[in-house]
Each structure stands twice: as structure tokens, then as C-alpha cells.
Amino acid sequence: MHGSEYRQYDQMQHRANQATQALLLRAAESVPEHKQHKLLVADYGSSVSTSSAQLLAPVVQQLASKAALVSVAHVDLPENDWQALSEAVQSCAGSYVHVASNVSSQQCARSFYTQCFPAATVSLGWSGIALQWLSASIPQAGHLCCTPSSMDSGAISKIKAQAQEDWRVFLAHRATELKPGAHLIVTALCLLPGESTLGQALDQLNSCWRSMAAEGIISMEERDQASVPLYSRSWEEWMQPFAVAEHPSFLVLQTALRRVAAPAWARFRESNNVVQLAADYAGSMKTCCTRCLQKALSSRPVEEQQTIMTSLFDRFEGLIASDPSQSLGDFIILDLVKT
């Protein structure tokens, strides 16, 4: 999915990220002055959203008075739409690049599950709605997306183990990169007890994908190859590295939970346009699934891939339109300090 399409459907994430701005500003206050040196701000998992550019503006403005140069480094996978991100950062209203003359932007085309910067060079780290993406896909036996309600315990155990190892590795690399006393602010999906509206939507998408295999539109091999590496950790899973004893590298300064309603639902309540609601929900799912679907269907011509993906999301839209419900996202916010 191209950058402009992604930004069209990232409003829920943007709202969740806004809750971190006060934490980011307080973290910036704690950064010592370095009048003759550069301050590095790391954005782990930028994608192509304008959230980073706008959210970091007052933070960077505060830091710009403390250093000769403030550089914001956007980290994401090599296949990210880097041109779209660059355009968003340079052109969006309220971007951090316009708050001071001593501010620059850079890109780091690496997985944040690796070390991205030299040791003790990052003055402030932030990851906004990115860590629910795992380092690798795990075959899910016909499930396009991981949903505990519809998968067997063996598959769930493998995914949970991968998620916990990824979280451990992420923290280990950030512990290397961050300066002592630097803050790492994290916002990510969190699975809370009870019924998950996101889980319901993913179950519906899985049902559509399996029905296409049953009808022979896709092969069983393609059905099983398509696996979106998306997993919502529970509160306990997020806190596990800090639960038994003091973490060797991070102090948990603050935690919070935030429930965010999809803006599409508010528009639906005003317009009663169920077709538009279904299209908005399907657009959000496309941002999660398109890359994995393309890989699973890579043996087919591009036109066939597009036809199959269009059919999948048309079916999903039909299910949403037949029984519209509010989409809610639960997010955890963590303020960690490098010890």
C-alpha cells in the first residue's frame, strides 16, 4: 500500500499516539544541554504516517534550544515507502522539520529488532504503534491473521513465544543505543481481557480468506503461506520483562492504557452510511495485510494478485456492512528510562 493510502486509514493510530505527547515533552525536558553537539531522536517503526512529524514537532522544538543540531532518525524496514515518508515529513503541516533551523531528518532502513545506532547515542527514543509487528511471520494454518479465539493452542504458543522474544530483543538493542537517563516511550496494541473488537474483525477476515481457498480461488498452499505477523500482547506479556525483578537496563517510570474508537464509527453515526463504514474498515485491514498477501501470491501475475486482494476485501466489506459494529483499539503506553 502506498503512503497516501496508508495515511488515509491510520487515524486510530494517530489518536493513540497523541496520548504520548505529554510524556515525550517531559522526556525532552530531562535531556541535558549539548550546545556544541548533536542530539539524536529515534523513531522506531515510522512507516509512512504523518504522526511522527506532527507529534514530535513541539518535542524537537524544545530540544533544538539545547543542542547544535537535532536529528530525528526514522527507523523502518528497507521495503518501507521511504519516498512517501520523506514527502510527509517535509510537506505536512506542523512537521518538526520546520520548528527550527538546526533540525534535520534522516532514515534508517533496518529492522528495529536489530541494533540501529551506535552505543549510547540516542537521547530520546519513541515507538508509536509498531511493536505489534513481529520480526517474522509464523505459518498459521489458514489464518491470515493471528486470533486466539479461532486458532489451536500449539499455533498460539509459537506466536506468543516469538512475540516475547521480539520484545526482549527490542529492549536489549535499545538498551545499547540509548544514553543513560534517556527515555524510551512506547505505544502499541494491547489485548485486554474480554471481547476484542479487533479480534472480531480479524476473525471475519480469516473467514473470507479461507472461503476463497474452499472455492478454489486461491490454492491451499497460498492460503497457508499468507500470514500477517501482527500480534497484540496482553498487559502481562508487555510487563513480563519487568515483572520478576528489576530490569537490568530500564526503569518503568509510567504505564497507561488507552482505548480509542475508530474515527470511521463517529462518521457513520452522523451519516448512517454503512457502505462508507465498511470501506473504511476494509482500508484499515489493507494497511495490515497487503504486503503479506503479495508475498503469498507472488507466483501469480500482478493483475491476478490485485484481483484476488480486491475480492478478499470486497467480501470483508460485505460482512461489515451486513452487521456494522464499533471498532475499538486498546493501547498500552510505556515510559521507560535507561539506567
Categorize the per-residue pLDDT at 194 as very low, low, confident or very high, splitting at 50, 70 and 90.
low
Interatomic CA distance for residues 318 and 20, integer angstroms: 35
Q: Structural domain boundaries of the chain?
A: 3-338
φ, ψ at 253 (rounded to 5°): -85, -40
The whole-number pLDDT of residue 150 equals 60
DSSP labels, 246-263: --SSEEEEEEEEEEEE-H
Rounded alpha-carbon distances, angstroms, from residue 305 to 206, 213, 227, 299, 301: 18, 14, 16, 9, 6
> 60-69, 119-128, 267-276: which has the minimum mean pLDDT?
267-276
Instruction: Pick the closest to residue 144 from 302, 39, 331, 295 (CA basis).
Output: 295
- ∠ CA 156-159-162, nearest 5°, is 150
CATH architecture of 3-338: 3-Layer(aba) Sandwich (3.40)
Interatomic CA distance for residues 285 and 312, integer angstroms: 11
> 146-155, 157-166, 250-259: which has the minimum mean pLDDT?
146-155
| Contact present, 319 and 204 (Cβ < 8 Å) | yes
Mean pLDDT of the region 287-311: 91
Interatomic CA distance for residues 197 and 285, integer angstroms: 13
The whole-number pLDDT of residue 1 equals 42
pLDDT(318) > 80: yes
The whole-number pLDDT of residue 154 equals 78
Burial 133-149 (b: 16+ CB within 10 A, else e): bbeebeebebbbbbbbe
DSSP 3-state of 273: coil
pLDDT(5) > 60: no
Categorize the per-residue pLDDT at 149 as very low, low, confident or very high, splitting at 50, 70 and 90.
low
Interatomic CA distance for residues 335 and 27, integer angstroms: 9
